[in-house]
């Protein structure tokens, strides 16, 4: 199983529990976000579906709570450093 499949399975198994992700952005900056995998709010964006299966689109609930709008984010599974949910944690080098 590759890294993307492992992370997608981890998110699936999280069910309704909050998932925390730490990843490296393209510019090298480390970013953290938290999301609910079962969030069914409408996804905003360019309107173009992603063809890259490693890209996960989610609504960062900490931003949504503060600002309401503009909380949609995406991350590349191949750039994930750490992912946590429901007492479980995966760390990647």
Q: What is the pLDDT of residue 44?
A: 57
Confidence of residue 72 (pLDDT cuts 50, 70, 90): confident
Sorted by sequence, the CB contacts under 8 Å of residue 4 that are 6+ apart come out as: 53, 54, 77, 78
69 vs 48, higher pLDDT: 48
- In the predicted structure, residue 80 carries a pLDDT above the cut 80: yes
pTM of the model: 0.83
22, 82 Cβ separation under 8 angstroms:
yes
Q: What is the mean pLDDT of residues 19-27?
A: 96
Give the gyration radius of the chain's Cα atoms: 13
């Amino acid at each position: 199983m590759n890294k993307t499949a492992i992370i997608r399975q981890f998110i699936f198994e999280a069910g309704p529990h909050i998932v925390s992700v730490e990843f490296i952005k393209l510019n090298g900056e480390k970013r953290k976000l938290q999301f609910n995998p079962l969030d069914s709010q409408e996804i905003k964006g360019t309107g173009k579906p992603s063809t890259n299966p490693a890209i996960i689109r989610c609504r960062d609930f900490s931003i949504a709570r503060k600002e309401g709008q503009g909380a949609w984010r995406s991350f590349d599974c191949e750039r994930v450093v750490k992912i946590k949910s429901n007492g479980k944690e995966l760390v990647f080098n």
